[in-house]
Amino acid sequence: MDRQYQKYVGDFIIWSVLLTMPLWLHLVGGYTPLGTRVLIMALAAMALNFLLGYTGVLSFGHAAYFGLGAYGAGLTIKYLIPNTLAGMGVGLIVGIVAAAIIGLLIIRLRGIYFAMVTIAFGQVFYFIAYRWNNITGGDDGLSGWSRQPIDLGFFKIDILHDEKAFYYFVLFFFAISVAIMAAILRSPFGRTLLAIRENERRARFLGIPIDRHVWMSWLISCTFVSLAGTLYALLNNFADPHDLRWDQSGDFVMMAVLGGMRSFWGPLIGAAMFVVLQDYVSSMTSNWMSFIGLFFVLVVLFCPRGVLGIIRRRQVQ
């Protein structure tokens, strides 16, 4: 009962902070787009954690689907339909289809082999975006477009140009995504993923179709990463080849590890730490990556279970 009560209190605190963030963020030296970026990166990190933390499969190629979502949204709005929701839908579908096909090709691999192949496929998409100058803008990125009013057919809502309104727009999709992931993890399918993570061989002896479950976990994870990519493109009104690159995937892994990759809210905490630290340090020095790398190493050495792991250990004591 105490643990359940602590869970409810923790959830209440997190949602209270997220719902009120635009109201107090400027008081601590922040700004609303920074909070929006935290939400988007947290969604991507939580999606990766669905595969890494709850299924036990490491991917270093999730940036590919993050970037496909971003470019799918941007290209749709710029060249096809100037509609925000349509752009998000196309970006999401492109990411899902790519993840489904690639997942079928790599699903039998495990460990470092799986991770390396995901990097390889991710780099393929990166070089396509980098070289296809006429369509994607190449190294300069995809610009010349912006998020449009929400068009519901019978009327339009022109609020997304406002930073606070766009924050709550992102929060809406974040909340839906988090609710779906939580429901899946509480289901028998989610419990099966935990069994695969803890002992894949024993799960296979029990008759669980391991490859099918890992593929479904991969697809669910990439779906929400693609959604995060569409929102990131809308935040910046820009899509960058870096969104597809392997080091972006590394950032997602770092966020999950910083917060605690075997806890549901850990990646959110890790994303907040990573994004805020990156924003603050990069404003002071061009060598900000060295400081973030050092911080990550210290966390891994002294807090291997992440920030939430430390909090839970103290609560138990």
Q: What is the pLDDT of residue 315?
A: 52
pLDDT at 216 over 60: yes
SS3 for the chain is CHHHHHHHHHHHHHHHHHHHHHHHHHHHCCCHHHHHHHHHHHHHHHHHHHHHHHHCCCCCCHHHHHHHHHHHHHHHHHHHCCCHHHHHHHHHHHHHHHHHHHHHHHCCCCHHHHHHHHHHHHHHHHHHHHHCHHHHCHHHCECCCCCCCEECCCCEECCCCCHHHHHHHHHHHHHHHHHHHHHHHHCHHHHHHHHHHHCHHHHHHCCCCHHHHHHHHHHHHHHHHHHHHHHHHHHHCCECHHHHCHHHHHHHHHHHHHHCCCCCCHHHHHHHHHHHHHHHHHCCCCCHHHHHHHHHHHHHHHCCCHHHHHHHHHHHC
| pLDDT at position 2 | 64
pTM above 0.95?
A: no
Question: pLDDT grade, residue 317 (50/70/90)?
Answer: very low
Q: How confident is the model at residue 310 (pLDDT cuts 50, 70, 90)?
A: low
Quick one: pLDDT at residue 209?
93
Q: Residue 20 has what pLDDT?
A: 95
**pLDDT of 233 over the 90 cut:** yes
Span 69-82, average pLDDT = 94
195 falls in which pLDDT band (50, 70, 90)?
Answer: very high
User: What is the per-residue pLDDT across 95-140, written as a single tens digit (0 to 9) for each?
Assistant: 999 999 999 999 989 888 999 999 999 999 999 999 988 899 988 9
Tell me what the mean pLDDT of segment 180-197 comes to: 94
pLDDT recorded at residue 262: 81
Decide if pLDDT at 1 tops 60.
no
The architecture (CATH level 2) of 32-316 comes to Orthogonal Bundle (1.10)
Q: Quote the mean pLDDT of the chain.
A: 90
Domain extents for the chain? 32-316
| Per-residue pLDDT reduced to its tens digit, 160-180 | 889 999 999 999 999 999 999
